[in-house]
Amino acid sequence: MMSPTSLTDHSKLCVHTITTKPWSVEESMDKYTEAGIGGITVWRQWLEGRDIAKVGDQLRDRNLEIVSLCRGGFFPSKTEPGLKEAIEDNKLAIREAAELGAPLIVLVCGAVPGQPLEESRKQIADGIAAVLPLAEEHNIKLAIEPLHPMYADDRSAINTMASANEVCDQLNHPLAGIAADVYHIWWDPDLEEQIRITGEKDRLFAFHICDWMTPTADLLNDRGLMGEGCIDIPGIRAMVEATGFDGFNEVEVFSDRWWSQDQDTFLKAIKEAYLKHS
Amino acid sequence: MMSPTSLTDHSKLCVHTITTKPWSVEESMDKYTEAGIGGITVWRQWLEGRDIAKVGDQLRDRNLEIVSLCRGGFFPSKTEPGLKEAIEDNKLAIREAAELGAPLIVLVCGAVPGQPLEESRKQIADGIAAVLPLAEEHNIKLAIEPLHPMYADDRSAINTMASANEVCDQLNHPLAGIAADVYHIWWDPDLEEQIRITGEKDRLFAFHICDWMTPTADLLNDRGLMGEGCIDIPGIRAMVEATGFDGFNEVEVFSDRWWSQDQDTFLKAIKEAYLKHS
């Protein structure tokens, strides 16, 4: 196990807009700036009804680094129209990222209950390949986020770093890489080696943090803030940094519990937990 | 993907007593026998306050094959007394299995939130090694059940067939093997190869079936009956049978939904789902 360096300021802290779900993108950008947070990852729902280029300008005006747009993906389908629709939506996401000025899109790759995961993985690789030319045109990176195996039924057929690396190997494109989220991968006995490989191949594009609660009351919306659960976040960050990664540490917490509380208090807790437990 | 043979009768159907949780072991044995089910796996709680040898006789009188005793394990601990207590409990389980006449104990190996999984796996291997001499004395097989990664926090540090095989390689003992449960392993891209290896090493000791619900409302008690979810059970059974496995197909369903219904109706549904979807 590597020893992690300490985090001493919030310059590399990025918060996902979904983490402070009750806030609009305008509220989020003001609150994050006021809190001295370095970066923001914008979820697409937060851009609905907005002039996206203008939101990008507002973020840049505040010196908030736009880390990524969340999320594209959901490529698999049992029907031809479904497959095409997914590709169109991912092209739209690429155009949105370009308008916003986000350098990267996170991909939750998708799965269809009952369809063999192998088939879904093939559709995912084909889907990414189909949108890579547009990504190239706008210079937008696409980051496959391996999802925890408990989401293999309907959210992603890519459930380990190894599986994500395999798809990236097939795509073999400098804009196709991986977003590593501790929540999804912490349990993997092969984690250190896979992070090493990901770095070696210049495809470790993003790093997400949160914690795993014991017990976990809900499969989707019971993530913990760093330090509330059992994940060795500093240990995994050390593996990530050993590859040369110097990007943001993105806090992505889905939590009915935290969302029901005062979000200013929550943001303060995020900042503290970031320094103490990340 | 291999093509599975069809199941045409209930001779290889085994039901876990926890599947029909509202029934006592006495009710279970009568109901299972009446339903023409071939085997039973007894959970230890069902033996509390019973003369265990007598329960074994009652089961044999009904020609119900005793497939296994569930469960031992939970070896890891952060304290020395905790480690010792776990070993004592597993020895007790071995004695109970011998009294009952069960040839096998299923091991849910355990994990301690916050303790590195690597350390827990070492404690698991040490724990099993410590009880193997007693298992040998009574000729009781010990089957490591790899648990779904969503249980890596506090239920098991062994979350893939590969990981279970690694511990078995270390133990290198004919009584140390694996119980493969489709619920825990269905998502694994390496499944077919790992099942093949397990069979090749003569350590595929048990096969458990149920289904994965979409959505899954509860991490513990929302399993589906075969056919209710997305797992390709016949496909996995084909992989298992390709190794030469000819043991029971054990139905292990934890479901608040099914437990709240009439258990006679449920048992009928199990028999039907077994032939149609297993």
pLDDT digits (tens, 9 = 90+) for B105-156: 999 999 999 999 999 999 999 999 999 999 999 999 999 999 999 999 999 9
> Measured between beta carbons, which residues in chain B are less than 8 angstroms from residue A117?
187, 189
Q: Is A250 on the interface with B (CB under 8 A)?
A: no
Burial class for A61, CB neighbours closer than 10 Å (0-12, 13-18, 19+): exposed
Tokens of B180: 């493969």
CB A278 within 8 A of CB A237: yes
Q: With an 8 Å Cβ cutoff, are A186 and B152 in contact?
A: yes
Q: Which residue is it, tokens 């497939």?
A: B67
CA distance B210 to A41: 39
Q: Are A197 and B194 in contact (CB under 8 A)?
A: no
CB B10 within 8 A of CB B38: yes
**Shortest distance, CA A160 to any CA of chain B (angstroms):** 9
Nearest CA in chain A to B235: A116
Is A150's Cβ below 8 Å from some Cβ in B?
A: yes
A3 in contact with B at a CB cutoff of 8 Å?
no
Residues of A in contact with B229 (CB under 8 A): 113, 153
**Closest Cα in chain B, distance from residue A66 (Å):** 32
Greatest Cα pair distance in chain B = 50
Nearest C-alpha of chain A: how many angstroms from B150? 6
pLDDT at A266: 98
Size (chain B), residues: 278
* pLDDT at A62 (0 to 100): 98
Nearest residue in chain B measured CA to CA from A112 = B230
When CB atoms are compared, the residue of A149, A188, A214 closest to B187 is A149
Rounded Cα distance between B190 and B194, Å, is 6
Q: Tell me the average confidence (pLDDT) per consecutive run of 10 residues in chain A, 278 residues long.
A: 81 98 98 98 98 98 98 98 98 98 98 98 98 98 98 98 98 98 98 98 98 97 98 98 98 98 98 98
Q: List the beta strands (DSSP E) in chain A.
A: 13-16, 39-43, 65-73, 104-108, 141-144, 176-181, 204-209, 211-212, 223-224, 249-251
Q: What is the ipTM of this complex?
A: 0.96
- How many Cα atoms are found within 13 Å in the side-chain-facing hemisphere of B202? 5
Crossing angle of the two packed helices B25-34 and B52-61, in degrees rounded to 10 = 10
Packing angle, helices A80-100 and A52-61, rounded to 10: 40
Give the residue from B53, B125, B31 showing the smallest Cα distance to B86. B125
What per-residue confidence (pLDDT) applies to B4?
74
Using CB atoms, pick whichever of B159, B188, B215 lies closest to residue A187. Answer: B159
* Contacts with B234 (C-beta within 8 Å, 6 or more apart), sequence order: B4, B277, B278
Is A120's Cβ below 8 Å from some Cβ in B?
Answer: no
Rounded CA gap, A136 and A124, in Å?
Answer: 18
Neighbours of B243 (CB within 10 A): 18
Measured in degrees and rounded to the nearest 5, phi and psi for residue A3 equal -95, 125
* Domain B13-277, classified CATH 3.90.650.10, yes or no: no
**Residue B5: what pLDDT?**
83
Check CB contact under 8 Å for A153 and B212: yes
* Cross-strand bridge partners of residue A182: none
Q: Does the CB of B215 have a partner CB in chain A at under 8 Å?
A: yes
A193 touches chain B (CB under 8 A): no
Q: What is the DSSP letter of B210?
A: -
Q: Which residue of B has its CA nearest to A164?
A: B189
Q: Does B189 touch chain A (CB under 8 A)?
A: yes
* Alpha carbons A27 and A29: distance in angstroms, whole number: 6
Q: Is B81 on the interface with A (CB under 8 A)?
A: no
What are the structural domain ranges in chain A? 28-277
Residues of B in contact with A152 (CB under 8 A): 186-187
Residues contacting A75, CB < 8 A, separation 6+: A83, A86, A87, A90, A109, A110, A120, A123, A124, A126, A127, A128
Please tell me which residue of chain B has the smallest CA distance to A113.
B230
Residue in chain A closest to B115 (alpha carbons) equals A230
Contacts B230 to A, Cβ<8 Å = 113-114, 153-154
Chain B residues within 8 A of A219 when measuring between CB atoms: 150, 215-216, 219
- For residue B148, what pLDDT is reported? 98
DSSP characters for B118-163? HHHHHHHHHHHHHHHHHHHHHT-EEEE-PPPGGGTTTTBS--SHHH
CATH topology of domain A28-277: TIM Barrel (3.20.20)
- Across the interface, whether the CB atoms of A113 and B153 are under 8 A apart is answered no
Interface contact A215-B219, CB threshold 8 A: yes
- CB spacing of B150 vs A149 below 8 angstroms: yes
pLDDT (tens digit, 0 to 9) for every residue of chain B, 278 residues total?
566 789 999 999 999 999 999 999 999 999 999 999 999 999 999 999 999 999 999 999 999 999 999 999 999 999 999 999 999 999 999 999 999 999 999 999 999 999 999 999 999 999 999 999 999 999 999 999 999 999 999 999 999 999 999 999 999 999 999 999 999 999 999 999 999 999 999 999 999 999 999 999 999 999 999 999 999 999 999 999 999 999 999 999 999 999 999 999 999 999 999 999 99
Q: Give the C-alpha separation, B192 to A219, whole Å.
A: 27
